[in-house]
Amino acid sequence: MSPPAISGLTSEEVKQLRQRHGPNEVKAKQKPEWRKILRRYTDWVSLTILAAAIVSACVKNDGDRGWTSFVLLILELNLVVWAGYSPDRNAGNAIKELEELSAPTAYALRDGTWQDVPAKELVPGDIIEVKGGDVIPADCRLIGKGAGLKIDESSLTGESMAVSRGSGHQILSGAVVASGEMQAEVTSIGAETFFGKTIALLGAPEEKGHLFKVLNQISITLAILAFLLVIGIFVAAIVRGKGVGYAFIISFVVYVAVVPIGIPVVTGTVLAVGAREMAKEKAIVSRLSALEEMSGMEILASDKTGTLTLNKLTLDPEDIVAWEPYNIDEVLSHACLSAKWENNDAIDQAVTTAIGGNPESLSQFQIHSVVPFNPVDKKTSASVTGPDGSSFVTCKGAPQIIAALLKDHAAQKAAQEYIDQRASRGLRSICVADSHDEGQTWVLVGLISLLDPPREDSAATIKRAQELGVEVKMVTGDQLAIAVETCRRLGMGTDIMEGKELMSHASEDLSFAKKVNNQDGFAGVYPEHKHKIVSALQAKGRLIGMTGDGVNDAPALKKANVDIAVAGATGAAKGAADIILTEEGISTIITAIVNSRKIFRRLETYVIYRVACSLFIILFFFFAIVILDLEMPTWTVVVLSLFNDLSAMALGLDQVHSSNMPEIWNMLKITTVAIVIAVGGTGAVIILLIIASPTLVNGWPAFNTTLPRPPADQLAPELTDGAVVAIVFLGLMGLLQLSLLLTRNPSFWWYFSKKTAPRPSIFLVVPIAAFCLAGTFVAVYWPRDLQPDGGRGVIDGATWAPVGLTWAYIFVWWNFTDVMKWAVWKVFLKQEAIKEHCKMDDTQPPAWCRAMDAPGIWVSRTADCVSNALEEAWRSFVSSLRQTARRKPTRTELQANISRRLSKRELDGSLPPDAFDNNNSLPALSRAPARPTTAEAFQLESQPKGTRPSRLGQPKNLANAPACLLWQRVCQTWP
């Protein structure tokens, strides 16, 4: 091959140009960190906590202010904000570091050699090579010879049709090369590019996945329920004569304890941990909520080449077939004539390696032009002059494409037989032909077989995926026979559908969707077929994961539920993907599936616990205050809420098992299990209150227990009101904390196995034990004369005897609630197993299964509608506030305002009666003298107040001349 006519920039020139132009990057407009933190302080949950803190400090409770509650609520507010902000930031940093490791590169000519250069290091004047699938890294001008490029500029201009560009044409940064290959000279970089300044104003959109919608529904549902019951608490407290202050404070504090404050923290922690685990596996998670969505993935549509196989074709010289009059050496030389020797693909690398990898071996040929491979023609060609001076065109490519060009039927038949024989062995065939009449007629030169062997771990990985309930369907553009052989070697089914059959049906056709769903793979697939495959599978209600690597895969990736760009994918495919793999193969995908199901299990545990605790707290206080007339210090409620949120945050670090089947949100199961736990806990503490209260049952004498009453040396078989509050506080603390162990295990809390749950993490056990111990010491030793917030509701230590009995009572009720939870969960596990079996058999579940799903569907839809309505109302409210703040006052409003101010001053005696007549002079003011010059205005303002000359010809001793001057200027300038 002839050497390049240009040598590119030198290292010294690059250094100078980089100092002048900076890096080739456009930094999108990002929110500063302080704004991200401020946004967390101003969401509705944080504002609720802040409002409760202000109410506690400002509203008096029997003459006292709740400063202790104020401090605790502010502490909880900061804990929620910073604990939620930290994992998000850490996850973002981890992803950013991994993105830097897989930063896009450009193939640039520098110091006379072609080399891979990070795209951000390009400078104007660099010579680069662009080919099909590349995202253009900077504004460039095409140079040199070539057949031209097809450029997809839809992401920049909105034009869906690809445009043709040739030598001398300008191509824009961010556009995608659809096909072709040429050299280009960089003309502009970074913000200097045509679209750079516009792109710099844009930030990455914040997309909320299915997880955030579910959590938002739960939050709003709990908030509405709590609001309704808190109103009942407020009214009951006032009716019972507790005072407006106490009623207001206790209502606000209980509401804060019920709303799911920790949802952003726990969600952020769980997803951040998952993102870090994925980063260790060399996978970039570009959308965190995709980790949760992957847990429900049922089908993985995987590319064959490079993903299931090595994508390293090897050529067997003994398997080459030459067609007379050519020999094997001529077959190889013709194949290499239309090959690239630099920056070549796998096929070109295989054939050039077969002749030694040295282009000097073809020095007797003169190559005039080479048309590289593109996915449309599926062949490469070259115009060549041979050693004897004859000119001819040689090409190589897909056998079915080249065979269609041949006129010799015997050659066509031989080519088809060769394809079939090699395909049965999993070999890929390449057909070589030439033409001596400028492509009018083609003659077969020979046939070459190439082997792309499966990866060593592919078969085991696919088997593991099947064990996890994920069906792997192979998608390839290769021949049907090759696809069948590859599937057989990988242990997959061999029922393969061809791409041409896909285009003969509509993806919405349920019978066609069922047929697609039953296939093991797809062969002869073009990029437009992939979108149809995904659509047909989704029509059957399946959750689809899709792998891709090319620019044309982007639409199918966006259509899939989980989008995965494999190693070596183009920039366009990476931009459309949720997860970007930086190592070849699909073993990382299996790791992602396992991790995503662990993430789902942690989130499901937290949601059940949060719903159960919220229902527990609101139901108890509603019955205890409204019916049993309990007076509880507000700071104890805040402590319960704070400890509850702290221990719940530890769920993000708990040990969990990954499910063997895809996971989906079952809101009926979550709600039912939570209600069972909440009702059990509420009933337990209500009965405890009734037993402990000296005015109700006073059950302590039954245990022969003597209890202290003031003075300290007096003993009596009943508790003080403060000691009753301490016992109730302990009952709430113990059952709330121990409920964490109930929600994490679908079986009994103490039964650990691979099918249930592992032993709890130390990060979970320590806070539960610590908070239970703290509650115990408060219930035993809290002094009666120490009441932090004062006012109504006191707490008094109840000594060890009643506290010990209370713990025994808690333990019994806790296990009783665990049995009820296990029974309910077992019913739902049976239903889920039947539904999964019916889905695999494509049959309808039994009536009782469908009947159980109906309430959950109704609740989900209702919550979704309410959530959307509230979000829309809030957006409208905020928008109206912004419009009001930005609206300019009308002239009439200005006139009325200034007139009122002047009239008031006249009544106060600060304005002489002859200085301004509101009734008669107002119309005349619109014809006020011209605006003073800058010098005149400065002179007026510099004079002492009260001695400035009047613009209306009034006495100089006019105290309000500045107001009159303002009025004149308003009238002069108002349109």
- Residues annotated as catalytic are 303
- Provide the token pair at 425: 């062995």
d(CA 743, CA 57): 36
What is the identity of the amino acid at 573? A
What is the identity of the amino acid at 220? I
Residue with structure tokens 């760009």? 565
d(CA 488, CA 926): 92
CA distance to 42, 418, 530, 887, 889, per residue, from 882 (Å): 16, 73, 46, 9, 14
- What angle do the packed helices 244-258 and 67-101 form, to 10 degrees? 20
d(CA 728, CA 63): 25
Give alpha helix (H) positions in 493-633.
499-502, 510-517, 527-539, 554-559, 571-576, 587-626
d(CA 876, CA 758): 47
Residue with structure tokens 């000594």? 799
- Provide the token pair at 532: 């149809």
d(CA 139, CA 878): 41
d(CA 484, CA 477): 12
38 neighbors 241 (Cβ within 8 angstroms): no
415-428 residues labelled b (16+ CB within 10 A) or e (exposed): beebbeebbeebbb
What is the identity of the amino acid at 721? D
636 neighbors 576 (Cβ within 8 angstroms): no
The 3-class SS string of 190-202 reads: HHHCCCHHHHHCC
The 3-state DSSP class for residue 259 equals: coil
The 3-state DSSP class for residue 917 equals: coil
Among 554, 309, 330, CA closest to 455: 309
Return all residues near 901 (Cβ < 8 A) that are at least 6 apart. Answer: 963
Among 22, 217, 413, CA closest to 858: 217
Longest dimension (CA), the chain: 124
Using alpha carbons only, give the angle 158, 164, 169 rounded to the nearest 5 degrees.
100
741 neighbors 689 (Cβ within 8 angstroms): no
d(CA 281, CA 152): 33
159-168 CB contacts, 8 Å cutoff, 24+ apart = 166/142, 167/142, 167/143, 168/141, 168/142, 168/143
Tell me the chain's radius of gyration from C-alpha atoms: 38
d(CA 108, CA 186): 10
Among 416, 477, 482, CA closest to 453: 482
Using alpha carbons only, give the angle 100, 279, 38 rounded to the nearest 5 degrees.
75
d(CA 524, CA 478): 5
Q: Nearest 10 degrees: CA dihedral of 346, 347, 349, 353?
A: 140
CA distance to 291, 610, 683, per residue, from 268 (Å): 12, 15, 33
Q: Helix, strand, coil: what percent of the chain each, to 5?
A: 55, 15, 35
